[in-house]
Every structure is written in C-alpha cells, then in structure tokens.
Structure 1
Amino acid sequence: MIELMRILISTEPKEYGFGLTFFFAFLLTLYITGIFAFLGFAYPTNKVLPKSYYKLKNPKILVKISRILGVKYFQMLLMLAFWGTKKNRKKYFNGTKSGLKNFIFQTKQSEFGHFAALIGISILSIILIPRGYYSLVIIMTIINIIGNLYPILLQRLHRVRISKIMVDE
C-alpha cells in the first residue's frame, strides 16, 4: 500500500486510464479495510472506542436511514455471498444466550474495523484530492460507502434487534 501511495504521489492522475484508476481505488480500500479487519481478528479492537460510541442513541433514526439507503439489500447480498452457510453463521452465533453476547461482541469488533477503515480511507481521499486524483477519490468513496458504511449500519441494526430480544426476557 505504501508503495502504491508513493507511485500515486509521484505521478499525475492523467497517466492512468479508468481501468487502472478503478484497480488502484479497489486495492487501496481493500488494503486499508483489510488492515483493520486483521487487527479485529487478533485483538479486542472494540475497546479502542468508548462504550458510549456503541450505545444506540436513536434506533428509529438508524432504522429509517438504513431503510432509505437499502441496507437490507446489502444484507441479502452478504447472506448469498458469505453468511448463507450454517458453518459461517455458527462462528458468530450458536443459538444460545451466551451466543448472543458473543454476537454483540463480534458486531462491535466488526463495526470498529469498518469505522477505522472508513476514517482511514476518507483521510487518504483528502490527501489525494489536492493532487488531482478526483476519479480515484470518487471510486474510493463509493467503495468505502458500500464496503464500510453499510457494514457499520448493519452491525448497529443487529444490536437494535438484539436489544429488543434482551429486553423481552
């Protein structure tokens, strides 16, 4: 990733066609998201942010925004592509009460990773704008929204649903 940034900083945006620009945008967002995902697998990264960050202050607004943005379609895509198998789902929730606690932990881990990546990619975009990489930044932003903002909203929606179950008991 660092080498790719050096190349971008030392060259002009006009040197790259759309295909290469898209490829660079995909690689940069993948690298940054991957770094934070790896940290989330290795360490309890959800503790980096205060507990207040994870508290859902207005779940109704979250649900409304998620509905407008079509987060349910993103969720369906994830179910088809990855979470559709029981084996993959059981890693995060085994159907028990303690499984709910683990699932909450996993949503926070995932949310932190996507939040940190969202911020990191946004900072990188700000660095690239003055250098004229407008197309790259637009593509990175679209990928960042789909690859990081949508998962953040989805993790929060999971906790809204879980909080209803926990209250009902």
Structure 2
Amino acid sequence: MNKYVRVCFVLLLVLCTVVTVALWQGMHSFLFAWVLNLMLMMGVLYTTQTFKPRLASTYYSSKKWEADGKIYKWFGVNGFRKVLVWVGWEKLNKASSPVKKCLNALKHLEYNTRQSEFGHLIIFFIVLALALFVGLYYGFKNIVWLLMLNIILNAYPIMVQRYNRPRIQKAIAKINVLQSAHKV
C-alpha cells in the first residue's frame, strides 16, 4: 500500500477517534483532552516516521540563552525528566533506541530530538487552537484539561528536547574532533 494512503488512513483513524470521544464525553472533558493528545501523538509519530523530514531549520539550533539549560531548569525540566524515569518512559525509550557513544548513534539520537520536538510542536499548536475554539464556544473555564495536558504532554517534552540537544551536539563535536585528530 502506498505510504500516502497509509498515512491518510492513520490520520482518518485519529480524526474518527477524536470526534467519537468528543461526541461521547464532550470537548471539555479530561478523557477528550487525553485521547486527543494521544491520538495526535500517534498520527504525528506515524507521519514523521513514514516521511522522515530533514528538519534542518536553524530553529533546531541551540540559542545562546538556552545552551547551558538554565531557562529549562528554571521551568522544572529536570523534575519532568525524573517523572519520565519514574513512569518508565525513559526505560521504554532506551530499549527501543539505546544510546551508544559512536558517532552515527549520537547523530541519530540528535535527529530524534528534532523529530520529537517537531511532533510535539505540531500537537501543541493543534491542541492550543482547539482549546481556543472550545473556550470561545463553551467558555474558557471548559479548557482547563486541554491546557493542562497540552503543557504536560507537549510543552515539557519540547523543553526536554531543547535541553538535551546541546549536550548531544557537544558529544558529537568531541567525537568529530577525536576522529579528526586520529586521521592526522
């Protein structure tokens, strides 16, 4: 089956599931917000894994103000990382993509941070737009779950990727320097 057809089928499944839960529980419910985020994660992950975009934009380069990670530490990214370990996400993630100290593995890991950030950005803005719609239509007190889960499931993962990427890039640069020194 053509990859475009498969992606369309998955995205249609995502849309049907989200609409079904919206009609069943309402767009202001916790269940809707949870299902929306998880289904969008599934759809975006499937799409990015299928098409593997280059993601070479300068947006993914670390800025000076974020290179040391202080801003992310201030927002509690280390606490969020501990929660990921506590719930078993890190173990699951490491099992599917183990970290090795070879150059190709680190480059692949660095690309995965961009891919993850890209996916969470897309989901963040979709959920935010939907929250604004729900807020305008049903009242802003009805978007609490959408906003809370959007921050927890999308904003914090984006910060984790932006926190980790400079460290991975430093490791890549060190390996490149060592390999260049060995060639001389």
Normalised-by-shorter TM-score class:
0.7 to 0.9
Could you tell me which residue of structure 2 aligns to residue 83 of structure 1? 90
CA contact (8 A) 1:40 1:109 kept: yes
Could you tell me which residue of structure 1 aligns to residue 32 of structure 2? 24
- Distance (Å, rounded) in 2 between the aligned partners of 1:136 and 1:76: 30
CA contact (8 A) 2:120 2:154 kept: yes
Q: Does 1:2 align with 2:12?
A: no
SS in 1 for 2:99: coil
Bigger radius of gyration, 1 or 2? 2
TM-score where L is the length of structure 2: 0.72
- Change in CA separation of 1:140 and 1:64 when aligned onto 2, cut-off 3 Å: same
- Distance (Å, rounded) in 2 between the aligned partners of 1:58 and 1:41: 30
- Change in CA separation of 1:87 and 1:153 when aligned onto 2, cut-off 3 Å: closer
CA contact (8 A) 1:62 1:153 kept: no
1:74 to 68, 75, 80: 80
Q: Does 1:115 align with 2:121?
A: yes
TM-score where L is the length of structure 1: 0.78
How far 1:106 moved relative to its partner?
0.8
- Change in CA separation of 1:23 and 1:129 when aligned onto 2, cut-off 3 Å: same
Cα distance per residue 1:125-146 (max 9 Å; x no partner): 1111111153441211111111
How far 1:86 moved relative to its partner?
8.6
Q: Which amino acid aligns with 1:36?
A: V
Q: Does 1:38 align with 2:49?
A: no
CA contact (8 A) 1:117 1:148 kept: yes
- Distance (Å, rounded) in 1 between the aligned partners of 2:129 and 2:93: 37
- Distance (Å, rounded) in 1 between the aligned partners of 2:40 and 2:139: 18
Cα distance per residue 1:135-166 (max 9 Å; x no partner): 44121111111111111111111111122223
Q: Which runs of 5+ in 1 are unaligned?
A: none
Superposition map of 1:18-167 within 5 A: 21-45=29-53, 47=54, 51-60=57-66, 63-80=69-86, 81-84=88-91, 88=95, 91-167=97-173
- Distance (Å, rounded) in 2 between the aligned partners of 1:127 and 1:62: 37
- Taking only aligned residues, the RMSD between alpha carbons, in angstroms, comes to 2.6
CA contact (8 A) 2:48 2:115 kept: yes
- Change in CA separation of 1:105 and 1:92 when aligned onto 2, cut-off 3 Å: farther
